[in-house]
Structure 1
Amino acid sequence: MMAIRIQGQPLNITIIQMYAPTTDAEEEEVGDFYGNLPDMVNMTPKKDAIFIIGNWNSKAEDKVLDGVTGKYGVGVQNKAGERLIKFCQGNTLVVTNTLFQQPKRRLYTWIPPDGKYRNQIDFILCSQRWRSAIQSVKTRPGADCGSDHELLIVKIHLKLKRVRKTEAPIMIWEYAVDVRNRFESLVIEDRQPKELWAEIREIVQKAAEKHIPKAKKSRKAKWLSDKALEVPKERWDEKSKGSRTRIRVSKY
């Protein structure tokens, strides 16, 4: 499994791509998968719109389960389907494929090589909070994907603000090119390790100074006036002189 986080305003979008073990997989492999997937979900910030897509190798059937599935599932629920439902219930997720009425051929997601039957085993899950953002989910049977799985498409409507582009990618690219060019002229053979390390460090530092601006230190706000800050100093001076005179803070 893998995840990508897309920056947005006022929220970010996290997409997790996964592949679940097949029905004949070892129980240990299945346990590892359903143990690791919740960890990845929990790593995602709660404010993100989260979508989990992939081949679940499971059947959710056409049974309505409030907040989890609709009435447009296909097939009879199997053991893997039970795990899928429990996973959704435990992580407040909805199986979007089952929510929208479509022609049968746009509900099937997998056709075996012999073409004798069809199944719905690929699903797109989303957090229940963003259920209203899902406008449509269906397959494109005519798409040439080079696979026995059909192309599954979800249409999502989210109101996002424009994110201002930064100059950081250009800066990083220029820095990387400069370092690479400097390394090309670096002589490595018959060099002492310390000498070579010193030259490498100098290359990296000079390239960084040229392309990467130094971070500006933010000035901390003063919670005490300059006069108030002088009180401890005066106390210390008097104490070092052996004086027992008490310095009054009220005058500040």
Structure 2
Amino acid sequence: MIRYDVIGLAETRRRHPFNDVYDTGEELFLGTCDNRGVGGDGVLVNTSLSMNIDSFEQLTTRIRRLRLKRCGSTPALTIFAIYAPISNYDEEEVQAFYMDLERFYREDHAFFKVIIGDLNAKIGPRRSSEERHIVTHGLKRNEQGERFSEFIMATKTIHGNSQFQKPHRQRWTWKSPNGEHHNEIDHIIVNRKLV
């Protein structure tokens, strides 16, 4: 059994939005993909948090926002579920994605903000002292990782994946269909340390 609060889902490829509450109390939200049948994402919310759901919005075909209400002493929380364009997309589309994400992120005033999803980016370890929100526990970096690192620095967020030291063989979040390649392309970004 998987223990979770919220699971981000990517590449759901739904043509129509979907929302369902299961007998267990878990709630599923799925957004739509683009007109090419690419992308789509959503979230699965555990029963323990489902009563705190304020809203779920599709901001673009690649960005969703789940807002959770304040509950007692726990401040409000916004979770952005995202699915970034892959590296062979036009630079303009990649740039537009990051501009949209940064705008939505900055416009949201929740105490805690979390970004989860498939960024198709390999962030790697910190490369310079300016990348203080990225720790040294990443694998390697690609071009998409450079753009992602710029986003982290611009928003002064913290790259959650790199905060924990793990063996390289346990850091991957994606495996190729033939099982030969493993990459860490799914990420968690937070606006402040949650501990």
TM over 0.5: yes
Matched, 1:7 2:69: yes
Q: 1:146-173: per-residue Cα shift (whole Å, max 9, x none)? A: xxxxxxxxxxxxxxxxxxxxxxxxxxxx
C-alpha distance in structure 2 between counterparts of 1:100 and 1:114, whole Å:
28
Count of matched residue positions in the alignment of Structure 1 and Structure 2 = 129
Matched, 1:60 2:106: no
- Normalised by the length of structure 1, the TM-score is 0.48
Q: Which has the higher helix share?
A: 1
8 A Cα contact 1:5 1:15, kept in partner: yes
Identity over the aligned pairs, expressed in percent?
29
- Normalised by the length of structure 2, the TM-score is 0.62
How big is the shift at 1:70? 0.9
Please show how residues 202-221 of structure 1 align to structure 2 within 5 Å: none
How big is the shift at 1:105? 3.3
Q: Which moved more, 1:7-16 or 1:110-119?
A: 7-16
Matched, 1:120 2:178: no
8 A Cα contact 1:68 1:85, kept in partner: no
How big is the shift at 1:10? 5.2
1:73 to 138, 142, 151: 138
Please show how residues 87-166 of structure 1 align to structure 2 within 5 Å: 87-127=151-191, 130-131=192-193, 133-134=194-195
Q: Which has the higher strand share?
A: 2
Gaps of 5+ in 1: 135-252
How big is the shift at 1:32? 1.3
- 2:139 is aligned with what amino acid? V
Q: CA RMSD in A?
A: 1.6
- 2:65 is aligned with what amino acid? A
**Deviation beyond 4 Å, 4+ runs, structure 1:** none
Gaps of 5+ in 2: 1-62
